[in-house]
A and B are shown apart, each in its own frame.
Chain A
Amino acid sequence: MNQATSKVVDSGPMDVEGTGTGRSAKPDGPRFWQQVVLLVRRDLAVEAATREASATVPPLILAGLLLAGLGFELPPESLAVLAPGLVWLLVLTAAVPLARSLLAAERDDDAWDLLRALTSPSALLAGKATTLCLLLWLAWGFGGVLALALLEAQWSVAAVLAAAVAMPGVAVNVTVYGVLMAEQRRPALLTTLVLTAGLPALVAGSQVAATEQTGPWFVLLGVYDLVAIVTAWAVFPTLLDT
């Protein structure tokens, strides 16, 4: 068991009932948020120890932008127009390996069942999705800076806000699909599910960067977040039982 995982699995506060019997905790009041914070801290500690996302996602985004710039053979002004959608596409593509590594530490340490037993499904979903959301924000920020430097992209405040608003919905969907496909060796199937699930974020995020009337696109992103969170919250307990 790696150090980061063992530290959290051994820590008492996850078992908020204090019974030590592994009963599922109830997601009410501050206990729910305590669990979420612990999960996020734990996942970030695992990431700091393994550097799995930070070692794989930036090269993937850099490669995507470089190859797009080279392969499309477009004039700079056309590449600048293309950049927002390209960054979104690369972030969604980067979400696939992130989804595959969502439960990797727990699987390696054989701690997934223990984690499920000690944590409420809602807290588990919120914790995993929050970590993923943070990583996706970083990935989008990295892609945005690269697009600014390499493709002369023009980022507006609205485009950055759109990324901030869209990412929770994307993260929740990717979390659901990551858990769903955790034991399956079908990366292409996971890619199909993740890319299609991110369609509203892709189109709305790109359109906000390209148009002046951004209001309806923010409404779409808000609805997307809401629907994604509610449906994921409803189905996640069932998913954990399978």
Chain B
Amino acid sequence: MGLSPEKHRHRSIRPGLGTLALVAMAVALALGLVVAPAEAIQGQAQRLMYVHVPAAWTAFAAFALVLVASVAVLMRRHPRWDARAQAAAELGVGMTALAIVEGSLWGHTAWGVWWTWDARLVTTAVLLLLYLGYLGVRGLPGDRVHVSRRAAVVGVVGFVQVPVVHFSVLWWRTLHQPPTLLQPTASPPISPLMLTALLAAVVAFMLGGAWFLRRRVAQLVPVEPSPSADHADTGPVPVVVTRGAS
């Protein structure tokens, strides 16, 4: 007896990616919690950066994937791209929420408040709302193809907010610090050990995100009946009446 398409698809997911993500997480944890020194002023609270920054970067990458997949849905109309767009949006929303929560925890120790009306915080929260709206559009009732194309429109139009979030710390005078790594200087103002721990965490989050995307896409893509299943299913044949062109 062969595997059902659902089981076959889950088996086809490469186990190596999950393992790799787990190993990377373990390495990142060791580097972030043990190897990297505590920051001179902020102390241990600075270690939250090893989750906050990778979560934010993974969210940006996920939203970029939503854009790419949405364009592909509009151009190629393949359900797999639609599934990728949804999975990426879910990942992005989760990572954005994590980045906000982590930032809030850090903010409470560094600034003394859980929330402040800072441009980066507000634009990030708006970004979260936007992609929650995107997922809301995906949940609208109606024909699946139409809903996926409507969601793709939101995925394309909504991406304009992502650069606004990134550049918000440069455009406004904000409490949130400007980019440490993504700035045009020869050497970023961060200790090499901290930089190593941060980059390891970024790699771990990206791998974990990729693993999530694979699993979720596999769940979301509709099962295509195999040829043998077509023969086995001998249900009533629909009668299709085509109207002649006028």
* Residue ranges of A at the interface with B (Cβ–Cβ < 8 Å): 173, 176-177, 180, 183-184, 186, 189, 192-193, 195-197, 199-200, 203, 216, 220, 224, 227-228, 231-232, 234-235, 238-239, 241-242
Q: Are B149 and A242 in contact (CB under 8 A)?
A: yes
Chain B residues near A232 (CB, 8 Å)?
157
For the complex, give the distance between the alpha carbons of A176 and B74 in Å. Answer: 15
Question: Within the complex, which residue of A193, A216, A220 is in contact with B154, where a contact is CB–CB below 8 Å?
Answer: A193
Q: Which of B43-51, B78-86, B99-107, B128-136 contacts A (4 or more CB under 8 A)?
A: B128-136
Closest-by-CB residue of A relative to B168 is A203
Contact of A192 with B150 at beta-carbon distance under 8 Å, contacts A176-B157, A231-B160, A235-B157 already known: no
Q: Are A192 and B153 in contact (CB under 8 A)?
A: no
* Count of B interface residues, CB-CB < 8 Å: 27
For the complex, give the distance between the alpha carbons of A197 and B133 in Å. Answer: 11
Q: Are B149 and A238 in contact (CB under 8 A)?
A: yes
For the complex, give the distance between the alpha carbons of A231 and B140 in Å. Answer: 22
Closest-by-CB residue of A relative to B153 is A235
Q: Is residue B171 within 8 Å, beta carbon to beta carbon, of the partner chain?
A: yes
Min CB distance B228 to A, Å, is 35
For the complex, give the distance between the alpha carbons of A186 and B140 in Å. Answer: 9
Chain B residues near A228 (CB, 8 Å)?
157, 160
Chain A residues near B129 (CB, 8 Å)?
192, 195-196
Q: Are A239 and B153 in contact (CB under 8 A)?
A: yes
Chain B residues near A235 (CB, 8 Å)?
74, 152-153, 156-157
Q: Are B123 and A199 in contact (CB under 8 A)?
A: yes
* Residue ranges of B at the interface with A (Cβ–Cβ < 8 Å): 74, 119, 123, 126-127, 129-130, 132-133, 136-137, 140, 142, 145-146, 149-150, 152-154, 156-158, 160-161, 164, 171
Q: Are A197 and B153 in contact (CB under 8 A)?
A: no
Chain A residues near B157 (CB, 8 Å)?
173, 176-177, 197, 228, 231-232, 235
Contact of A196 with B133 at beta-carbon distance under 8 Å, contacts A220-B171, A227-B160, A228-B160 already known: yes
Contact of A216 with B161 at beta-carbon distance under 8 Å, contacts A189-B136, A196-B133, A235-B153 already known: no
Chain B residues near A234 (CB, 8 Å)?
156
For the complex, give the distance between the alpha carbons of A186 and B119 in Å. Answer: 29
Closest-by-CB residue of A relative to B170 is A216
- Top 3 A-B pairs, shortest CB-CB distance: A196-B130, A242-B146, A192-B133
Q: Are B137 and A197 in contact (CB under 8 A)?
A: no
Chain A residues near B136 (CB, 8 Å)?
186, 189, 192
